[in-house]
Structure 1
Amino acid sequence: MTNYIYLHGFASSPKSAKAEYFLRRFQSLNISLKLLDLNQGDFSHLTITRQIEQVAAEFPTDETPVTLIGSSLGGLTAAHTSQKYLKVKQLVLLAPAFGFLSHWLPRLGEEQVQRWQEEKYLQVYHYGDKRSLPLHYKFVTDASQYLDEHLQRPIPTLILHGRYDEVIPITASRDYAASRPWVELIELEDDHSLGNVLSEMWKLIQAFCQL
């Protein structure tokens, strides 16, 4: 048996369309998929470090292997969790947020980022809560230590990424996969949401995980 855990994306929730779709698909095979709420009721103090600790706390105490399925920032978190915890035997990454800060901060603009640093909190629209919530600048300082080049553990990895991703460009996953022979990248005809290719992704995940 394998333990399957799903990690939602930044400013999202376990009630996202993708999370609920995969939950139903796993249930149809009588396989448990644990959906974590990485917000922990305190989005304002979210950090990648906190997410990794939360994920690790869900690992089985015995030798049961773990497969992490992560979307966007959840994918980045899954990759760094697998680097630290050998119990993770497989990764499925959906539009993983490699180089997250390098893509996000320029869109905010230098002036807004500087104001965030000075004022400590930035209002960020939270898609799960459907409203803006304050996020502490510690999110940035914490995330800056999680570099893609640190991810060198050869763990079987399936990356599914949309060619028209407007949030995390497909080149981020292409660059990541190019230097890691244990990574299989499949490019899909969709944007960052991957909402139009759910059934296609499910077939690929079934094959990869041998469900």
Structure 2
Amino acid sequence: MAIWASSGIRLKPRLLLPLLLSTRSAALAAPMSRTKFVYLHGFLSSPDSAKTKALGADFLARYGKPLELLDLNDAAGTPLPCEDAVSRVMGYVAEQRERVVLVGSSYGAYVAAAAACELQREATEQASQCTGVTGLVLLCPGFDMPGRWTSGQTAFLAPKALAEWRSAGSREFARQEEHGSVPVHVPYTFAERALASNPFPRPRLPIAILHGLQDAVVPAKTSLEYIKDPQTRRCAQLVLVDDDHSMQKPSTRKFLWKVLESCFPEDIRNPDSPSEAQEVSEETPRETVEVESKFILHPQEMADGGIESAAKAKGYQFEKSFLHHFWDVYYDRITEQG
């Protein structure tokens, strides 16, 4: 189950993801001979974490090209503060001859958006239209760190823990590696800079966001708040999936592939492949169109013969009956319906 929420206050969506993405694909990505996809890991993660390595291996197996893994930690394994992480990403992009799609997770997603903003600012100052970045794919992006950390709207850091971190000057966390976790001491300067950061960096780039409805670290309403902005709504699209902050469910991984293949069809294709066109499986259609017609059934009509006979009586061709389970999405809450 997923929800498409690119705009609008209230949605009753079906699984229209392939259609909605494909209809915008021309605007989302210009044809490129080569494009690098670069993954930015989250806070307390690394390129050596099991999650990061698994994603890289799956990406390589599916597309025949590597997912570049950029390290957002310093030499000691301590997470880089916002400005330093952004500078590292900008430096990496500047060194590339290819254009780049940034794929970020949590804190890495925030850094991706912030770096894209800075690259656009530099390009504007230099009267250039090329930032080096084609677009962004953000997984549970860690937007609004100041608001979430100081209000207690996150399972990651309560206001009391933030105050204790400040008093102690540093805080011990567990960084995830391939074979387990290792302790890492993070100075309070990391939190200090995060609290002073721009809560919602909004680059003028194609942005695809996947967010878990069960995310307790960065609530899904954070991404809903992000796409409320009219400027952002013109270029950002949001998919809400039935997952938590880890985004490890197989169904979530499938939606990630759909996003990449629909938003960046030319970029994701391996240019060294002998095939001119990327093979598209039945599971990932390029064009899917659903036309929906609604009519009212009164209780007596249902009692007389059920949905099928009532539909035929109204001139409809009945093919399949199913229970439609959906979610109502508001910018201030998400309500399950059935």
Q: How does 1:12-31 map to 2 (within 5 A)?
A: 12-28=45-61, 29-31=63-65
- Unaligned regions of 5+ residues in structure 1, if any? none
Higher Cα Rg: structure 1 or 2? Answer: 2
Cα distance in structure 2, aligned partners of 1:94 and 1:110? 25
Q: How does 1:41-56 map to 2 (within 5 A)?
A: 41-44=75-78, 46-56=80-90
* Number of aligned residue pairs: 210
Deviates more, 1:184-193 or 1:34-43: 34-43
Q: Which residue of 2 aligns with 1:78?
A: 112
How far does the alpha carbon of each residue in 1:106-155 deviate from its partner, in whole angstroms, 9 at most, with x for none?
35444433332232111112223613321101101211232134x23321
State the 1:3 CA deviation.
Answer: 2.1
Alpha carbons of structure 1 residues 202 and 32: separation in structure 2 relative to 1, 3 Å: same
Q: Which residue of 1 aligns with 2:137?
A: 92
Q: Which residue of 1 aligns with 2:258?
A: 203
How far does the alpha carbon of each residue in 1:174-210 deviate from its partner, in whole angstroms, 9 at most, with x for none?
1101211210001111111110022332222222221
Task: Find the partner of 1:159 among 209, 216, 235.
Answer: 209
Aligned partner of 1:200: which letter?
F
Determine whether 1:11 maps to 2:44.
yes
Aligned partner of 2:194: which letter?
A
Task: Find the partner of 2:227 among 166, 177, 183.
Answer: 177
Cα distance in structure 2, aligned partners of 1:74 and 1:170? 16
- TM-score normalized by the length of structure 1: 0.89
State the 1:168 CA deviation.
Answer: 0.3
Confirm or deny: 8 A CA contact 2:149 2:158 kept in the other structure: no
Alpha carbons of structure 1 residues 57 and 164: separation in structure 2 relative to 1, 3 Å: same
Q: Which residue of 1 aligns with 2:165?
A: 116
Residue 40 of structure 1 aligns to a residue in which SS?
Answer: coil
Cα distance in structure 2, aligned partners of 1:167 and 1:61? 33
Q: Which residue of 1 aligns with 2:288?
A: none
Q: What fraction of aligned residue pairs are identical, expressed as a percent?
A: 28
- Higher relative contact order, chain-length normalized (CA < 8 Å, sep 6+): 2
Determine whether 1:146 maps to 2:179.
no
Deviates more, 1:36-45 or 1:113-122: 36-45
Cα distance in structure 2, aligned partners of 1:193 and 1:17? 12
- Unaligned regions of 5+ residues in structure 2, if any? 1-33, 120-130, 269-338
- TM-score normalized by the length of structure 2: 0.57
Ranges of 4+ aligned residues in structure 1 off by more than 6 Å = none
Cα distance in structure 2, aligned partners of 1:144 and 1:104? 8
Aligned partner of 1:59: which letter?
V
Q: Which residue of 1 aligns with 2:15?
A: none
Determine whether 1:188 maps to 2:238.
no
